[in-house]
Amino acid sequence: MDRVLKKRIGKIVTWFLTFVLMLIISVPGLWVVLTAFRPNREVLAKPAIWIPQDPGWTNFAKIFGFGAEQIAIPVPAYFANSLIIASTSTVIALLIGMSGGYAFARYRFKFKNKIFLGLMLSRTVPGIALSLPIFIIWSRLGLIDAKLGLIIVYVALNVPFTIWLIDGFFRQIPKEMSEAAQVDGCTRWQAFWHIEFPLAKSGIASAGIFAFLTSWNEYALASNLTRSTDSKTLPVGLMDFTAQFTIDWAGMSAMAVIIIIPALILTFLVQKHLIAGLTFGGVKG
């Protein structure tokens, strides 16, 4: 009897703690999403209005330039910039990462661990510290406020981590499979293309999603290397709202939702592979 009671209390405590945890995780985001659908005067109201009185899409319409009211911030241009910069840099980082990851997974060579450590250490340089010299060099090369300038930086930012993940995925594929194919007359390249690549494909895709999100979310470098609608990305554009004297919380929340949605969808797709990739690459070495 006593043990049954103890077990039941344990279960209730577990569920209670989980509930509180999920509340802390989800409430801040949900509150922003809710705000995105409310007019700003309701957000500013005192005493607080808890339940939205007239929810609607006005904030989104404003941001994208539809409807009667317009906003001075060119969100559609920022959105396009973000999309172009993030996807281009992801594709390039993936190609570089695949070749590098394959080298780490399949070959033994001199300075292997040192090169790996070097690549990883390059990632530790704080974005803001790196932005100073890049700002000076890029301004001489005319890469400031250009999409290309940011793409190059993001490729370098994503390569180390992409290599780490892809290395892990290739390691999970037994060496014997490609060796068998080579015995049967395939070249190494064919063996890679027909055997190893298809098996690692989903893992590589998730490395790509991860790289995309890193570029999509980056702020420290983008905020200093961009100036105008030519290259400003969404996270930098979000700060446009705070430059005004009164913060347009509702508009800012609507923009936040636009930034969050791709991240949420992609996270959902990637979650399983990401955990597998990180732990495999890290623990099994």
Partner 1 sequence: MTQADVASTANIRPRRRRRRNLTPFLLLSPAILVILFVVLLPLLFSFYTSFTGYRLIKPETLYQWVGFQNYQRIFADKNFWAAFGRTVLFLTIALNLEFLLGLGIALLINRITWGQRALRTMMMFPMMFSPILVGYQFKFIFNDNIGILNNALQALGLSEGAIPWLVDKYLAMFSILFAEIWMSTSVFAILLLAGLFAMPRDPLEAARVDGCNPWQVFRHITLPFLMPFAFIAMTIRSLDVARAYDIVDVMTGGGPAGRTELLWTLIARVGYDNARMGQANAMAYISILLSIAFTYYFFTKLIAARKYMGGAD
| Residue 202 lies near partner 1 (rule: CB under 8 A) | no
The CB-of-230 to partner 1 minimum distance in angstroms stands at 19
Length of the chain: 285
Helix (H), strand (E) at residue 222: helix 220-225
Binding mask 38-77 for partner 1 (x = CB under 8 A): -----xx-xxx-x---------------------------
Work out the number of other CB atoms within 10 angstroms of the CB of residue 80.
15
Tokens of 104: 């780490």
Among 6, 7, 8, 15, interactor with partner 1 by CB under 8 A: 15
- Kindly tell me which of 181 and 259 has the beta carbon lying closer to partner 1: 259
The CB-of-137 to partner 1 minimum distance in angstroms stands at 6
Please give the residues from 108 up to 167 whose contact with partner 1 meets the rule CB under 8 A: 108-110, 112, 115, 117-130, 132-137, 152-153, 155-156, 159-161, 163
Is residue 158 a contact partner of residue 215, using CB atoms and an 8 Å limit?
Answer: yes
- Kindly tell me which of 153 and 195 has the beta carbon lying closer to partner 1: 153
Q: Which stretch binds partner 1 (CB under 8 A): 1-9, 54-62, 70-78, 217-225?
A: 217-225
- Kindly tell me which of 64 and 219 has the beta carbon lying closer to partner 1: 219
The CB-of-285 to partner 1 minimum distance in angstroms stands at 4
Burial 229-245 (b: 16+ CB within 10 A, else e): eebbbbbbbbebbeeee
**Cα 82–85–86 angle (5° rounding)?**
75
Tokens of 204: 């590589």
Q: How many Å apart are CA 149 and CA 125, to the nearest integer?
A: 18
Binding mask 79-98 for partner 1 (x = CB under 8 A): ----------------xxx-
What is the sign of the dihedral through the CA atoms of 99, 101, 106 and 108? positive
The CB-of-68 to partner 1 minimum distance in angstroms stands at 25
Is residue 147 a contact partner of residue 230, using CB atoms and an 8 Å limit?
Answer: yes
Closest CA to 213 of 146, 139, 265, 163: 265
| Residue 267 lies near partner 1 (rule: CB under 8 A) | yes
Please give the residues from 241 up to 260 whose contact with partner 1 meets the rule CB under 8 A: 242, 249, 252-253, 256, 259-260
Q: How many Å apart are CA 218 and CA 236, to the nearest integer?
A: 9
- Kindly tell me which of 117 and 180 has the beta carbon lying closer to partner 1: 117
Among 59, 78, 86, 100, interactor with partner 1 by CB under 8 A: 100
| 142: three-class secondary structure by DSSP | coil
| Residue 78 lies near partner 1 (rule: CB under 8 A) | no
- Kindly tell me which of 47 and 185 has the beta carbon lying closer to partner 1: 47
The CB-of-202 to partner 1 minimum distance in angstroms stands at 17
CA atoms within 13 A on the CB side of 221: 28
